[in-house]
Structure 1
Amino acid sequence: MFGRKKQTPPADMPSQDEQQPRVAPRSPSEAIKPMAAPPPPPRLRRKRGGMLSIFSGLMTLFIALAIALIFGYGMVEREVTAKGPLQEDKVVLIPRNTGTNEIADILKQEGVINQPLLFEVYALVNRQRGQLKAGEFQFKAGTSVAEAIDTLVQGKAILHSVMIPEGLTSEQILSRLYENEVLTGDVAETPREGTLLPDTYKFERGTTRQQIISSMQAAHRQALSQIWQRRSPELPVKTAQELVILASIVEKETGRADERTRVAGVFINRLMKRMKLQSDPTIVYGLVGGKGTLGRGIMRNEIEAATPYNTYVIEGLPPGPIANPGRAAMEAVANPSRTKDLYFVADGSGGHAFAESYEQHQRNVTRWRQIEKTRATDSDVDRADPDADLRGQLAPAGPGAATGKRSRAFDASEGTDKDPLKNKSYDLNSAKNVPTLSQP
């Protein structure tokens, strides 16, 4: 009977006792205790770079500054919008070339603000420093610092105005500009007659008189260019300058808007028939030039006096304008009424009676003389010269009225208390009323 042969491990293989480490026997109490978990592996700490540390610090500083600025701006915003110390509306003049700090001092002195440093800081924060404008400004009662800055930045300066009536000569216009105390400076030379457009011109304090003259000249050129382009093709006037000359005569003959085109039509008809214009205002201008008025009525011998402007003597138009006509007068000459009228005379209502024939005109003259006879008083006629012809530029016997007889129409614009050029409130667009006259 064979038995199993006992195998022996190779010599190089460790024995079972060598493969399993021997553990010391534990007591029953230790055996039932859980085994402790192994400790975690140690964390490796990375070394921070220098740039990262700097960036982190800067970000922290920036955030802190931003919070401080927002908080500070909120406080400033509350202060600048608070009601100011001004008790009532006030006008303050800010001179030209004034710095922000100087503006702040001016507003402090005028009682508009009480914190000039706050004014400067807020103007700087809002990037408005250097944009504050000079001029004359009105600040309302209780104006805050922010509102004061807005007023100066938006440039809402107070505007003044100068009114130049139609029919003034260039010398008279200059006199009116020099009477205005808000305007400054001198005018280099008297503008040529008929190159200024009468109107109401607005300006800020500090504007020069030369600037107003330049504005009037530019406005005249623009208006004349537009009107000349729209003129009637049948006009006997050949140049824009001739249109201005005739418009100046129309302007001096009537101030009524509803008559201008008809008065212009009379002169156009006379030019086409080669008749003398016979306009009294041309006599006056030939005698006194740019001064504009005689200070009295026209004398009989002055009607026949030969001057380049006297249209009772010369043929056609005078060599230049006798005043500065307005836009309406130039429009009237460019597109006159199409009538056969050759004459006009005052009708007693502030207007004129027109006639196509000399006989009809004579009847109108007789009617006018009857009207002025009923109005006559002893205080309005100078008896020192019984041969004086008092037919002046506004009363108006009109073209062809020199009949050899004495006319009694009064020249309302020649140096009397009713002179529209002396009375600043006179409206040249309204009817001109003939003053009362006396019997000779």
Structure 2
Amino acid sequence: MMARGRFRRATRLGKAQWALVAAALLVIAYGTHFLWGWYGPGPLAHEAPFIVSEGSGMVSVAQELEAEGAIASAGTFRARARLLGHAGGLKAGEFMIPAHASGAQILAILQGTEGSLRRLFTVPEGMPSVMVYEKLLAQPMLTGKVTVPAEGSILPNSYDYQRGESRAAVVTRMQKAMAQTLADLWAKRSPRTIARTPQEAVILASIVEKETKLASERPMVAGLYSNRLRLGMKLQADPTIIYPITQGRPLGRRIRESEIHAVNDYNTYAMVGLPKAPITNPGRDSLAAVLNPADTHALYMVADGSGGHVFADTLQQHNANVAKWFAIRRAKGEM
């Protein structure tokens, strides 16, 4: 009797142990499934863009992810995100979700820790507003109408935008950037600047922008034109002849003699002082050059044949430099 009692107790103990083992295996299996469902590959067959609208919450985003086939279940995605995800809200924007991205990777992308899909609208330095306008209209992912921005009101740079964003919103962002940049540079302006107002700085910077492509030359060109303005000399800047004809687009030919003498509010060959308005959208470097010009006595410049210019303090020096430039052009067969 004693032996049979011990056997029954051992049998009961064995059943309890097996129950515990089974429960542990069940927990392990469920835990593995739970973790695999978060860190394992997802169901998305191909890389796809995904947009999170401003103010969207986890519930609506998870439902959209499920509808797009990026996750298997919105409910389990939210549950796993609460337990296993990083703290932080979702970022508004357009994101690129890779094929078979895990739930953990998708959440990281939508929280901005793995980067969003950046769409950039780029305005090169010296692009006039009419060409910015044409470029805005040609961008199919932007929406709505827009007018040609005021010349000189756009800061050349690259700007993020979202699919479906309005063209007017992008223009506003570019104009705010110009206003802020100009305000910052104006506050640090040198006593040598000839500009009496921020608008005069933009006008002169637009001429400097068009006269040289070399950033290293801009302070010198700004200094030269500042000297001319102080002395009451005509600026005689070729780009100011072209602007009334093309609104800043390339002329595509040589300037005509009649155009050099044309009287209007822009042609600095026929007037003393600055044009009435900018002739392009100047970049930060040109604005900085006008507000902190080189300390120079130069009054003349001519191309040097290598993309830059040779500067001169006197007309005699300038005429010698011009003769050298003509010799270079003749050697190239341009004259």
Q: Distance in 1 between matches of 2:157 and 2:101?
A: 35
Q: Cα offset for 1:233?
A: 1.6
How many residues of Structure 1 are paired with residues of Structure 2 in the alignment? Answer: 305
CA contact (8 A) 2:192 2:292 kept: no
Give the corresponding residue for 2:123: 164
Asked whether the 8 Å contact 1:80–1:146 carries over to 2, the reply is no
Q: What pairs with 1:172-187 in structure 2 (closer than 5 Å)?
A: 172-187=131-146
Aligned: 1:258 with 2:216:
yes
1:353 paired to 2:298:
no
SS in 2 for 1:201: strand
Distance 1:339 1:327 in 2: 21
Bigger CA radius of gyration: 1
Question: 3-state SS of the aligned residue for 2:96?
Answer: strand
In structure 2, relative to structure 1, the CA distance for the partners of 1:235 and 1:184 (3 Å cut) is: same
After TM superposition, list the pairs within 5 Å mapping 1:85-234 onto structure 2: 85-86=42-43, 90-94=47-51, 96=53, 103-104=61-62, 106-108=64-66, 110-119=68-77, 121-122=79-80, 135-154=93-112, 156-187=115-146, 189-234=147-192
Counterpart CA distance in 1 for 2:254 and 2:148 is 27
Letter in 1 for 2:269: Y
Deviation digits for residues 105-130 of structure 1 (CA, Å, limit 9, x no counterpart) = 654465432334433554578899xx
Is contact 2:192-2:293 (8 Å) kept?
Answer: no
CA distance in 1, matches of 2:100, 2:172: 40
CA, structure 1 residues 116+240, in 2 after alignment: closer, same or farther (shift >3 Å)?
A: closer
3-state SS in 1 of match to 2:161: strand
Q: Are 2:181 and 1:236 equivalent residues in the alignment? A: no
Which residue does the alignment assign to 2:226? Answer: 268
Is 1:326 matched with 2:310?
no
Query: Aligned to 2:116, what secondary structure does the other structure show?
Result: coil
CA distance in 2, matches of 1:121, 1:232: 60
Distance 1:143 1:362, change over 3 A: same
Alpha-carbon displacement from aligned partner over 1:151-178 (angstroms, at most 9, x marks no partner): 3344843111122111111111122222
Q: Is the 8 A contact 2:44 2:71 kept in 1?
A: no
Alpha-carbon distance in 2 for matches of 1:303, 1:232: 33
Q: Distance in 1 between matches of 2:161 and 2:191?
A: 39
Give the match's secondary structure for 1:161.
Answer: strand
User: Structure 1: where are the runs of 5+ without partners?
Assistant: 1-69, 377-436
CA separation of 1:277 and 1:144: change in aligned 2, threshold 3 A: same
- Which stretch of structure 1 is more off in the superposition, 301-310 or 194-203? 194-203
Residues 219 and 292 of structure 2 are in contact (CA less than 8 Å); yes or no, is this contact kept in structure 1?
yes
Counterpart of 1:180, as a letter, is: Q
Distance in 1 (CA, whole Å) between partners of 2:159 and 2:37 is 37
| Structure 1 residues 242 and 119, CA gap change in structure 2 (3 angstroms) | same
SS in 2 for 1:259: helix
Structure 2: tracts of 5 or more residues without a match: 1-26
Q: Distance in 2 between matches of 1:253 and 1:306?
A: 21
2:203 match: 245
Distance 1:135 1:244 in 2: 33
Hey, what's the Cα distance between the residues in 2 that align with 1:72 and 1:203?
A: 45
Aligned match of 2:296: 339
- Are the aligned partners of 1:159 and 1:205 in contact in 2 as well (CA < 8 Å)? no
Please, what is the CA RMSD of the aligned residues? 3.0
Q: Following TM superposition, by how much is the alpha carbon of 1:104 offset from its aligned partner in structure 2, in angstroms?
A: 4.6
Matches within 5 A, 1:71-86: 74=31, 77-86=34-43
TM superposition shift of 1:148? 2.4
Q: Structure 2: which amino acid aligns with 1:184?
A: T
Task: Report the 3-state secondary structure (helix = DSSP H, G, I; strand = E; otherwise coil) of the residue aligned with 2:215.
Answer: coil
Q: 1:94 to 1:334 in 2, by over 3 A?
A: closer
CA distance in 1, matches of 2:48, 2:128: 35
Q: Which moved more, 1:200-209 or 1:161-170?
A: 200-209
2:259 corresponds in structure 1 to 302
**Residue pair 1:132, 1:153 contacting (<8 A) in 2 also:** yes
Do the aligned partners of residues 343 and 151 (structure 1) sit closer, same or farther apart at CA in structure 2, a change above 3 Å counting? same
TM-score by length of 2: 0.80
Change (3 A) 1:84 1:110: farther
8 Å Cα contact 2:44-2:101 kept in structure 1: no
Query: 1:280-318 CA deviation, whole Å, 9 max, x = no partner?
Result: 1001112233x5333322111110011111001111111
Q: Is the 8 A contact 1:164 1:199 kept in 2?
A: yes
TM-score by length of 1: 0.62
Structure with the bigger RCO (C-alpha within 8 Å, sep 6+) is: 2
Partner-residue secondary structure (3-state), 2:278? coil
| Cross-structure match for 1:62 | none
Report the 3-state secondary structure (helix = DSSP H, G, I; strand = E; otherwise coil) of the residue aligned with 1:93. Answer: strand
The Cα shift of 1:139 comes to 2.5
- Match of 1:371, SS state, is helix
Cα deviations across residues 339-389 of structure 1 (Å, max 9, x unaligned)?
11111011111111111111211111111111111112xxxxxxxxxxxxx
Which residue does the alignment assign to 1:277? 235
Could you say what secondary structure the match of 2:271 adopts? coil
Change (3 A) 1:88 1:340: farther
Q: Distance in 2 between matches of 1:146 and 1:95?
A: 17
Structure 1 residue 102: Cα displacement: 6.4
